[in-house]
Amino acid sequence: MKNNPRSPRLRMLAGAGIAAALALTGCSSGGGAAPTAGATADSANGTVSIMVGGLNKQIYLPFKLAEQLGYYKEQGLTVTLSDEPAGVDATTNMLAGKVDGVGGFYDHTIDLAGLGQQVESVVNMLTTPGEVELCRTDLKSTVKSAADFKGLNLGITDVGSSTDFLTQYLTKNAGVDPATTTRIGVQSGATLIGAIQHKNVDCAMTTEPTVSQLLATGDAYILLDMRTAAGTSKALGGEYPATSLYMKTSYVKQNPITVQKLVNAYVKTLAYIQAHDGAQIAAKMPADYYAGAGLAAYVKAFDSEKGIYNPTGIMPPNGPPTNLKVLSLFNKNVQGKTIDLKSTYTDQFVKAAK
């Protein structure tokens, strides 16, 4: 891959590699995280910091919605949400001990397992990625599939992000060497839109509401759509669990009561999403979350992709093997490694949620 010298975010890759190299011991919390009988507190005592890979993205809706609905407070939690445009950088902050958990794609736990890191998802929120590959409208006659990616500038949120993972998979699976493309970190929202409009990138992977904004202006067209189960299966070969809350296994073991309260809040939020439409959801969100696309576009986008949200929080059983298969095609962190998928997530907290 050719690096983009104009993107300062590429420098974060070195930090991520250093953090990942500091391998932790231990395994998935499994059934071993149960609190002592009668216990009412743990070391976190209900105070949690979570960094989300793009708080205003609809794929990460449950994190802010839970706050807006008062579900954290209802559980006796003090939750600090911080925004980081790329999930890979949020993960770096968690490994460095700057935050307790990450709102990001589940595939990072598999990537980290290949590096000896013990990180696990405690609740799954999206059963499909909700990602869309958009290309500039002026390329519609020449770029018709990922098989046409050779020599193109491809926008991703950042190097090492899930959009980077998916872009590399789609490229290689189409018979194109990812090294013949240039993957450029353009985040999402205004920066990605600007990159498309100024022709800094030819295609880019992004989510709602950015997708609707670019389609509305006519600046881009959809090349690949992973906002539905059918589209995801066509692109990736199966179910691909995405947004999750993941934490270091050591944290989960030390703070089972706090984790359980968090999961309680998210399971209730996922149920709320299933019972309400886009207009009702948008009414609960801060206005700046849909300011760029506009309220009508935000509502329409939510209603059209509502199926991406996991109604229960349980990890789809057929999903993790697809995630591993995708990463194994190109990711040297997992290639040739024996990855115990059961150590990368736990359903125990979701099953115990009230």
* Averages of pLDDT over each 10 residues, the chain, 354 residues: 39 35 39 55 94 93 98 98 81 94 96 96 97 98 98 95 96 98 94 97 96 94 96 96 98 97 98 98 94 90 96 97 97 96 98 92
**How many domains, in total, are found in the chain?**
2
- The CA distance from 211 to 41, in Å, is 43
Looking at the fold, whether 59 and 87 belong to one and the same domain comes out as yes
pLDDT of residue 35: 55
281, two tokens: 């959801």
Does the residue 24 lie in any domain?
Answer: no
CA Rg value for the chain: 19
Give the sign of the dihedral formed by CA 98, CA 99, CA 103, CA 104: positive
pLDDT of residue 41: 84
Looking at the fold, whether 95 and 193 belong to one and the same domain comes out as no
Give the sign of the dihedral formed by CA 344, CA 351, CA 321, CA 327: negative
pLDDT of residue 291: 85
| 321 Cβ neighbours under 8 A, 6+ residues apart | 238, 341
Looking at the fold, whether 180 and 281 belong to one and the same domain comes out as no
- The CA distance from 57 to 79, in Å, is 19
Range of the domain at 313: 46-128+240-290+308-352
pLDDT of residue 87: 62
Q: Which residues are registered as beta bridge partners of 222?
A: 134
pLDDT of residue 31: 45
pLDDT of residue 7: 41
Does the residue 275 lie in any domain?
Answer: yes
178, two tokens: 């990812």
Domain C-terminal end among 236, 256, 274: 236
**Cα angle: 90, vertex 95, 101; to 5 degrees:** 55
Looking at the fold, whether 50 and 67 belong to one and the same domain comes out as yes
| 276 Cβ neighbours under 8 A, 6+ residues apart | none
